[in-house]
């Protein structure tokens, strides 16, 4: 369980420590490959009550990880959802036992392309099997069993995290009471798939990619991965947010001064920084693997392409949240999910949030967003009798 510190900002989880568990049970992936065992890294916040009915699962998106809240020793930057997880916050650690897991295929300690393939004794690299969102759900269920949790009070996630929440409602409908689906979609649009393929091509075009076997050759496609992140990052932001933050301001050079001085716009400097920073912390094979998983996701494929038929299997309540300036997972996508749930006769609430922050809005502070989450989960805690 997470450890706390008294010397941290108000309403902070405090200092936290990741945990690692070996799941000593076979996991059969959708592609047919069986992982005899696999490791998962996760963090927990709060306390599991005696009834074991106050557990919440946090599902991360493409580049996310287990570190959703609190601080690591020596770090000044908190987890990626620290605005919303903590004592008295929307996802209240005083009332819920919150589990945040790094999924298989990622590169933050859970089994993935950077792990050793037990069959060969070498790093998996590009040979790591393809994944579907349902594989993440099945792995999370094994973690759930390890933690002796019978049913999630809620499964919560944004973007790809929201896809996992929906998949939970279909794969294990009796194992969650609520699904909170934020800035998500039942399947990717052609435009989204196109952006993902451009990013993958950028990675594979790097001469250090080595057909995905760069780790074995002690190399890394940092340039290609940085380009991929720059492509993705632009699509997560809105034109208005970029304009307000950067406009056409220069980071270096001068249009009036010497023509020999290179001119760089602030937005160029920002994107280069974000790309370089990401490439030093993420794995290229993981990026390719997870973007393909996003492309493959189609909630209703096995139900005759009918989302209504798919959601007929769900038993939980749903909260849908969208953001007005999100053009990668637009409000229309959340409305489609909501309409399908209503037609399927499910209990669903939908809130459309005004924001100029684009797709990244689900990660950022927003009063109405905070109140929507907080009110929904407060009512849930009251219903469960969570202290």
Look-up: residue for tokens 């937005």? 267
Distance, CA of 180 to CA of 154 (rounded, Å): 7
Which one of 82, 206, 359, 360 is the catalytic residue?
359
* Closest among 170, 146, 70, 73 to 155, alpha carbons compared: 170
Catalytic annotation, pick one of 93, 110, 159, 334 = 159
Q: Are 340 and 311 in contact (CB under 8 A)?
A: yes
Which residue is it, tokens 């001119």? 263
- Per the DSSP assignment, residues forming a β-bridge with 322 are 352
Tokens (6 digits) for 262: 């290179």
184 classed as catalytic: no
Q: For residues 33 and 201, give the distance between their C-alpha atoms in angstroms, rounded to a whole number.
A: 26
Residues paired with residue 310 on neighbouring β-strands, in sequence order: none
Q: Where do the H-state alpha helices sit in the chain?
A: 133-146, 160-171, 190-204, 222-236, 239-245, 266-279, 284-296, 307-311, 331-343, 367-384
- Residue 70: both structure tokens together: 């609190």
Nearest alpha carbon to residue 132 among 47, 28, 52: 28
Distance CA 71, CA 76 (A): 7
Helix, strand, or coil (residue 328) = coil
Please indicate whether residue 359 is annotated as part of the active site: yes
Say which of 67, 326, 334, 355 is annotated catalytic. Answer: 326
Q: Which are the catalytic amino acids?
A: 159, 326, 359
């Amino acid at each position: 369980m997470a450890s706390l510190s008294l010397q941290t900002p108000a309403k902070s989880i405090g200092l936290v420590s990741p945990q690692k568990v070996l799941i000593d049970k076979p996991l059969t992936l959708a592609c047919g490959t069986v992982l005899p065992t696999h490791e998962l890294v996760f963090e927990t916040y709060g306390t599991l009550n005696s009834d074991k009915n106050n557990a919440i699962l946090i599902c991360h998106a493409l580049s996310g990880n287990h570190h959703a809240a609190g601080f690591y020793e020596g770090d000044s930057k908190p987890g990626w959802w620290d605005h919303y997880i903590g004592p008295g916050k929307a996802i209240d650690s005083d009332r819920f036992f919150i589990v945040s897991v790094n999924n298989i295929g990622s590169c933050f300690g859970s089994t993935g392309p950077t792990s050793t393939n037990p069959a060969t004794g070498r790093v998996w690299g590009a040979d790591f099997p393809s994944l579907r969102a349902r594989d993440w759900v099945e792995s999370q269920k094994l973690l759930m069993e390890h933690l002796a949790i019978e049913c999630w009070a809620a499964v919560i996630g944004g973007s790809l995290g929201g896809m996992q929440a929906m998949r939970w409602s279909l794969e294990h409908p009796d194992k969650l009471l609520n699904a909170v689906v934020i800035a998500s979609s039942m399947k990717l649009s052609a435009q989204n798939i196109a952006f993902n393929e451009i990013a993958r091509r950028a990675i594979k075009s790097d001469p250090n990619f080595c057909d995905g076997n760069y780790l074995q050759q002690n190399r890394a496609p940092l340039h290609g991965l940085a380009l991929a992140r720059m492509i993705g990052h632009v699509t997560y932001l809105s034109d208005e947010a970029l304009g307000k933050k950067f406009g056409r301001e220069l980071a270096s050079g001068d249009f009036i001064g010497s023509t020999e001085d290179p001119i760089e716009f602030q937005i160029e400097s920002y994107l280069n920084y974000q790309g370089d920073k990401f490439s030093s912390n993420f794995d290229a094979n993981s990026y390719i693997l997870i973007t393909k998983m996003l492309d493959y996701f189609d909630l209703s494929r096995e139900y005759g392409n009918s989302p209504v038929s798919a959601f007929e299997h769900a038993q939980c309540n749903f909260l849908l949240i969208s953001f007005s300036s999100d053009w990668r997972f637009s409000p229309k996508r959340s409305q489609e999910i909501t309409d399908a749930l209503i037609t399927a006769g499910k209990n669903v609430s939908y809130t459309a949030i005004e924001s100029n922050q684009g797709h990244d809005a689900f990660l950022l502070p927003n009063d109405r967003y905070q109140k929507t989450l907080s009110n929904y989960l407060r009512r849930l805690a009251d219903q469960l009798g969570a202290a």
